[in-house]
Structure 1
């Protein structure tokens, strides 16, 4: 289904149920011992989405370590866990038992799928519903009540009003860890990139020469770089922590796609499956799968400021209408209602 065809369905999901969910207590738990900084940011934005749906003051966020005692004290209607289920020290069984004891509905949003699929026994049958951030990966849970729920963007953290006359000093930008799959793509594009003013930033890139840096940058720095860049590369990752049993290829675009679109970046998306078209149309985010495709993109878009602006604007508008965490949580609530859990 194209992104355009999904608009009516998404609008209906946004409009439904807000009165029914307002006032119900929700406990959001995540943040295991090894939680990454990126996951902590996702958790903060998901809390915003829950508050959009259930109301300010009705959502309490706790660490998984204290979640069981918090459930006993608060007796929430919904216990919503999210994040990674990989570390064996992160034990969700106690949380699920306490939730059942107080009659709470339980849901887990796996935000690292499919990279940890081999460790999915950690959540197994502890939760009433599992939401997976990956469309293809969600098929590999050996249980029912598993639904695909993509990640998204948060307007408070990611939205920046677009300005037409911003000075663009960077031709091509990429920010992210130099995973092997990303290095392969960049090496293939090097004959083109060497002719441009590039900034490729993140751990593992510095060895590749001029325009490359090992630096780690904060979210606000990244958003500022978006505003100065003509093209922003969107490259998937290949680091599979525990994905050896089925070797599941990731399908759904990661959160950076939605975050960059909300920030007004003109993205160029690398993929071979065209899964992106479930979320954005061709006049919002162009895609490439090889050097020839990328060369055509450079020729068409690099010097056409007006065209890039209009496409970035459309992608930003689509994101604000369909791809915020508030939209995702509303969709999750619709799934729970359809299963007669709420």
Structure 2
């Protein structure tokens, strides 16, 4: 390691630990920074980030124009560090800068070329997807080329800048689940999380219709009748969504993948001013039903990014957001397993999941291992048959946790219908990754392009092919403690960042930030400071104290409702009673469409 990079890493470790953790093990595979006339320059996406000939003058002019436009601001956000020319200009003018690092690979390489001491001492560095609550209202200097290179990250940053840490209002939400399938447990995890967040939740658990679905499927093997009858069944379930939403006067209808949501129903919900959202927890390349409905939702959440985002937007989908999978710590946790459970569920190596093509091929290389395979869809003629458990039955979420805790190594190979083993272009991270991690047990997972955004390298153990997996298994047998330490870090990360409560909090905040319908319902009572002054002038000290407790520039009806929800009616003060009358009148006026 060169001395400048080493020095910069030490600075980052002290002042920007999140960024340090991200780049400490980065490899600079293909250097892009060059030197011309003693100036650093580079291209990203085929475009120069700064002038090749006089980057200092160029940056000075850009900064002067920005400050002129923003009334000589003394604290700003800078989006896009590039090679820091513009940032040094701000620092020279004694301006506090909050720097959003949009290109980690370039930032990592720049550590060997640029001394960050002044920057780290006088600025604060952020990743593009952090919580930016404290930065709201600050002017933004946009490094145009950085944005052009990766506009998706910039749009994500702008959205996060508008989000609250938690929604002020507790919404009335209709959560719609699928009839069956892998997304059904996720429906239950979302239900639990939304309830814990305090929202008024109504659920449609369509798993009660599974027998009817199976009966209709078996009515005839004729494809014509299947295509005719099944859509009618789905339409009936979708009508139930509409009826429930209207009768319950919900604010939001949230569908989980495979839930019965039709174009007709979505249009009618929109006409009724009900906000709709969908969490597509599927591989868009495998299941393509999104093509017919995604553009009708107000918000469409995915577990993949590009090229999925571009395809969705080309169909007319407007608010498209990446929302990765998660774990439920109340279900996915470390548990004690007795001898009988270890005998039944335990093995050196275990796998839970359906028999996709790549798994059937890949696992033949592990037949010499103490290896148990759980799950269905593996077929009866496979050479892997000795490893199949309990007649290939589906395994419940509770049993999955017992298997995780009973196994020495939990193998996690993402599904693919067309590759021989590890998918070299695999992107989404499956639920199993988070679920195993949450138990604190050892997991070996195949490499995924989006995995590095979710776990640091020392928090997850990955393999890229049969050889690297076998090498990991041999290393585990020789040094189990090393892998247990990594698994503990993995668990800590999941509990901090990757629970369904995290996901639902973020989802509702995004829906709230992007919905004019919801924003219009969050009626503003008045400016917080003005209300405090007015209350004090009238001697209403209790009311002034309430206004002070509100976070944000304005006091909204939702603030009052949340404040009162924490009190018993019998304990209401005179001020509380007046506030309750205000909220009741507002809700009455809303029902009558007066406000």
The TM-score range, normalised by the shorter chain, is 0.7 to 0.9
Alpha-carbon separation, structure 1, partners of 2:270 and 2:385? 56
Alpha-carbon separation, structure 2, partners of 1:334 and 1:139? 23
Equivalent residue number for residue 251 of structure 2: 77
Equivalent residue number for residue 280 of structure 2: 110
Equivalent residue number for residue 68 of structure 1: 242
The 5 Å alignment of 1:87-236 reads: 90-116=260-286, 118-136=288-306, 137-141=308-312, 142=314, 143=316, 144-160=318-334, 170-187=347-364, 189-190=365-366, 193-194=367-368, 196-203=369-376, 204=378, 207=382, 208-213=384-389, 214-216=391-393, 217-236=395-414
**What are the superposed Cα offsets for residues 89-129 of structure 1, whole Å, 9 maximum, x if unpaired?**
x4423432342233222111112231455322331422111
Contact 1:172–1:233 under 8 Å retained in 2: yes
Alpha-carbon separation, structure 2, partners of 1:118 and 1:227? 35
Shift of 1:258: 0.9
Alpha-carbon separation, structure 1, partners of 2:297 and 2:320? 10
Alpha-carbon separation, structure 2, partners of 1:300 and 1:274? 24
Contact 1:173–1:198 under 8 Å retained in 2: yes
Of the three residues 45, 52, 56, the one matched with 2:189 is 45
Contact 2:294–2:300 under 8 Å retained in 1: no
Shift of 1:260: 1.4
Alpha-carbon separation, structure 1, partners of 2:474 and 2:379? 26
Q: What RMSD, in angstroms, separates the aligned Cα atoms of the two structures?
A: 3.2
Secondary structure at the counterpart of residue 199 of structure 1: strand
Alpha-carbon separation, structure 1, partners of 2:287 and 2:19? 28
Contact 2:255–2:261 under 8 Å retained in 1: no
Structure 2 residues without counterparts, runs of 5 or longer: 1-17, 23-126, 134-159, 207-236, 419-424, 519-595
Classify 1:175/1:3 alpha carbon distance in 2 versus 1 (closer, same or farther; 3 Å): farther
Alpha-carbon separation, structure 2, partners of 1:224 and 1:117? 30
Classify 1:148/1:177 alpha carbon distance in 2 versus 1 (closer, same or farther; 3 Å): same
Alpha-carbon separation, structure 2, partners of 1:293 and 1:147? 34
TM-score between the two structures when normalised by the length of structure 1: 0.81
Classify 1:275/1:92 alpha carbon distance in 2 versus 1 (closer, same or farther; 3 Å): same
Contact 2:352–2:374 under 8 Å retained in 1: yes
The answer to whether residue 472 in structure 2 is matched with residue 328 in structure 1 is no
Classify 1:205/1:298 alpha carbon distance in 2 versus 1 (closer, same or farther; 3 Å): farther
Moved more, 131-140 or 224-233: 131-140
Secondary structure at the counterpart of residue 125 of structure 1: helix
Secondary structure at the counterpart of residue 131 of structure 1: strand
Ranked by relative contact order (alpha carbons within 8 Å, sequence separation 6 or more), the top structure is 1
Alpha-carbon separation, structure 2, partners of 1:261 and 1:225? 13
Equivalent residue number for residue 244 of structure 1: none
Shift of 1:255: 0.8
Of the three residues 231, 242, 257, the one matched with 2:433 is 257
Q: Whose helix fraction is larger, Structure 1's or Structure 2's?
A: 2
TM-score between the two structures when normalised by the length of structure 2: 0.48
Larger Rg: 2
